[in-house]
Structure 1
Amino acid sequence: MEALKFENLPNAVAELQKGQSELKALLLQKAQPQPETDNPITIQGVSELTGLTVPTLYGYCQRNEIPYSKKGNRLYFFKSEIIDWIKTGKSKTLKELQLDAEAYLSNKKKGLNYEK
């Protein structure tokens, strides 16, 4: 590496800044979690994930109650879809139901005209 002269200092600083910004971009890209590819799983994998039996899962598939893909005679499932499907069955807590009822009643009262 040759010695820097005062006249070349602005170019050297600009080159260092460019290299630093490229390194920063690469580090940020590496730091961001890469989306995991959602590999298909078999019905046995879904059974292990959900705790449901294979015949029960076949029944859900027959009634189109569970998300699945079919290729030929094989059923495939995606873990993210199964987890989303499980989350849709969440029941509201008593506190959530009470808040919903209060919000509904307050909106209902605003729309009514009371005559005296």
Structure 2
Amino acid sequence: MENSQQITLETLPKAFMQLLEEVKELKILLIQKNQEPLSTAVEWFDLVELCNYHPDKPKPATVYGWVFAGKIPVNKGGKKLRFLKSEIDDWLKQGRKMTLAESSLKVEQYLKNK
């Protein structure tokens, strides 16, 4: 059904079905666009790249301290430090603080269970 045609009661079911099909096609395209091949999804950082990627832009000495303390996920290749982007992203998300609403909900759930 073309865009220039008016929709009437007789053509409404056909127009609706066409709309559903187009929405399904768009959904498939969006899913395909958001899926990256695994080989391109793996990204590694060296120490300098990590410092530039991290939101706080820490100095290399600070990152060495995190590595020594076991606070940051790291892979070693000989003496080189390598950081997997996905692990760094997960590590950064762990520092997220709960909102007041989230903490209130957690308290309520805890009290219900006790």
Scaled to the shorter chain, the TM-score interval is 0.5 to 0.7
Is the alpha carbon distance of 1:97 and 1:53 closer, same or farther for their aligned partners in structure 2, counting shifts above 3 Å?
same
Q: In the alignment, which of 77, 87, 90 is matched to residue 81 of structure 1? A: 87
SS in 2 for 1:52: coil
Distance 2:46 2:75 in 1: 10
Is the alpha carbon distance of 1:30 and 1:97 closer, same or farther for their aligned partners in structure 2, counting shifts above 3 Å?
closer
Distance 1:44 1:52 in 2: 10
SS in 1 for 2:64: helix
Amino acid at match of 1:103: Q
How many residues are matched? 81
What TM-score do the two structures reach when normalised by structure 1? 0.62
Amino acid at match of 1:82: I
Any gaps of 5 or more consecutive residues in structure 1? 1-28, 109-116
Task: Could you list the structure 1 runs, at least 4 aligned residues long, displaced by more than 2 angstroms after superposition.
Answer: 29-33
Is the alpha carbon distance of 1:49 and 1:106 closer, same or farther for their aligned partners in structure 2, counting shifts above 3 Å?
same
Distance 1:31 1:46 in 2: 24
Instruction: Please name the residue that 2:12 is paired with.
Output: none
What TM-score do the two structures reach when normalised by structure 2? 0.63
Q: CA RMSD in A?
A: 2.2
CA shift at 1:53, angstroms?
1.7
CA shift at 1:39, angstroms?
3.2
Q: Which protein is bigger by CA-based radius of gyration?
A: 1
Instruction: Please name the residue that 2:72 is paired with.
Output: 66
Instruction: Please name the residue that 2:37 is paired with.
Output: 34
